[in-house]
Amino acid sequence: MPNRWNHVCVSIEYTDKGAERIIYADGKFNFQFTTAFLEEVKWLKGHNFTFGGRKFTYSGVHLHGMITDVQIFSRKISQEEMIGYTTCEKVGL
């Protein structure tokens, strides 16, 4: 939605079933999807981590806007934490 702040939390966990992605936006569950291990879902060592687009062509739409206050965790965060971050009830470290 234009001219509006959105709070988004994305969790990606690699398991033997593939890459599971869970997304919460503005305190509500938005999306969950698991894919097999494909080159496009792996974060390969030495490659840059990007937000809002990819360095190669894909079928999605690149973000048109600004991203601020990014946090990266070394563990899977819980559903409660995802809701807390996207409703601003929980603040970063």
| 30 vs 48: CA distance, rounded Å | 26
Contact call for residues 54 and 41 (beta carbons, < 8 A): no
Taking alpha carbons only, the member of 50, 44, 92 closest to residue 71 is 92
| Structure-token match 């990819």, residue found | 54
- Whether this prediction's pTM lies above 0.85 is answered by no
CA separation, residue 65 to residues 21, 59, 93 (Å): 22, 19, 25
pLDDT in tens, 16-75: 777 888 888 889 998 888 877 555 555 667 777 666 666 666 666 666 777 888 888 888
The per-residue pLDDT for 10 is 86
pLDDT higher than threshold 60 for residue 92:
no
User: In terms of pLDDT, which residue wins out, 4 or 85?
Assistant: 85
